Amino acid sequence: MDAESPDDHKELMSRVARSRDKAAFAALFGHFGPRVKAYLMRSGSAPDSAEELAQEAMAMVWRKADSFDPAQASVSTWIFTIARNKRIDAYRRLNRPELDQNDPALVPDAPASPDRAYEDGQVSDAIRAALATLPAEQADMMKKAFFEDKAHSEIAAETGLPLGTVKSRLRLAIGRMRKQLKEFEA
C-alpha cells in the first residue's frame, strides 16, 4: 500500500497499531522518515545526529502506534510532535512540560458533537490553503518558527528584524489561518 495521502497514512497507522504490520510500518517509514530527518536538519542537527534522532522518533512511532487518535490530529501532526519532543529532549536536555489528560485539575471541554474536522483532514487542508496564500514574509516566519530551534527573540537577532516585527508577522499568519478555520470552531 502507498503512503501518498493522509487517508493512506491513517490506514497504515491503524494496521501498525492493530496487528504490528511491518509492511505498513515500512510504507510509513519510507514517507515520514526522510521528512523527520529533514525537519531535524532544519532545526540545526548535523546529518548524522539527525539520522540517529529520526530513527529514534520512528521507533517511537512503531511502539506508540496504539496511542495515535485520528480524531485529535493527522498522522503527520502526530509524528511532528514526536520528532519535536525528541529534538527538545536530545538537544536541550530538557523535559517538555505537558498537560496530563487524566489530571483531576483538568477543565474539560464543553460536551460537543463529535468533531470530525481533524479526522477528515479538513483542518490540515485549510491550514495548507492558508499557508499557500500568506505573503512570503509571513510564510517564511511560520517556517522559521516551526523548524528552527529558536526563540522568537533569536529569530529577530538573526534576521535583523525587530522582535515586534517577528511577532506581528507570526500573529498575522496565525490570524489568517484561524480565519480559514473558523468553520471548524465550536
15 near other proteins, rule: CB under 8 A:
no
Q: Which of 146, 157, 159, 162 binds other proteins (CB under 8 A)?
A: 146
Q: Judge contact between 186 and 110, C-beta under 8 A.
A: yes
For residues 90 and 92, what is the distance between their CA atoms, to the nearest angstrom? 6
24 near other proteins, rule: CB under 8 A:
no
How many of the chain's residues bind other proteins (CB under 8 A)?
A: 90
133 near other proteins, rule: CB under 8 A:
no
| 123-138 CB burial, b ≥16 within 10 A, e <16 | bbebbeebbeebeeeb
> Minimum distance from CB of 33 to other proteins (Å)?
5
Q: Which of 19, 103, 182, 183 binds other proteins (CB under 8 A)?
A: 103
183 near other proteins, rule: CB under 8 A:
no
Q: Judge contact between 82 and 90, C-beta under 8 A.
A: no
Phi-psi domain of 132 (left: phi exceeds 0; alpha: psi -120 through 50; beta: other): alpha
136 near other proteins, rule: CB under 8 A:
no
23 near other proteins, rule: CB under 8 A:
no
87 near other proteins, rule: CB under 8 A:
yes
Q: DSSP class of residue 104?
A: T
How far the first Cα of the chain sits from its last, in Å, is 35
94 near other proteins, rule: CB under 8 A:
yes
Q: Judge contact between 113 and 145, C-beta under 8 A.
A: no
> Minimum distance from CB of 43 to other proteins (Å)?
9
Q: Which of 99, 160, 182, 183 binds other proteins (CB under 8 A)?
A: 99
